[in-house]
Structure 1
């Protein structure tokens, strides 16, 4: 797997090892997600799918702000 510029969630807090990280995959215009605790396990997805997930979470009562 090629190296990517992984970005941690702003909700990560003190920089511990239990954070959501995201990277773009310019070669196929995709997105990759991983948990910093298990960096070898990568979930590839599309920008549209990630956007739908975030919008769905925000729409839930008590969702993300």
Structure 2
């Protein structure tokens, strides 16, 4: 399921003749029906991520970096961080 959010271009300034861009957010299939969902969207040449509880905070990354992060998480690369190790 996609939801669209319109954002004003940062180049538009305060004038009334603004450029708006629609971002199609998709909820992660791992989020189930809970209110605390991860949303993703294709954004330019990269990926935008946000938490549904705080939708104004948006992280941007490249597809390759997100792919590497997900692979690392699946392989347990970050398990020691959670355990307090380095």
Matched residue, 1:24: 42
State which structure, 1 or 2, has the greater radius of gyration over its C-alpha atoms.
Answer: 2
1:6 paired with 2:64, answer: no
Please, which runs of 5 or more residues in structure 1 have no aligned partner?
none
Q: Provide the C-alpha distance between the structure 2 equivalents of 1:22 and 1:6, rounded to a whole number of angstroms.
A: 5
Report which structure shows greater RCO (CA 8 Å, sep ≥6).
Answer: 1
Displacement after TM superposition at 1:19 (Å): 0.4
Number of aligned residues: 59
TM superposition score normalised by structure 1: 0.79
Aligned partner of 1:59 in structure 2 is: 75
Higher strand share: 2
CA RMSD of superposed structures (Å): 1.7
Residue 36 of structure 1 and its aligned partner are, at CA, apart by: 0.6
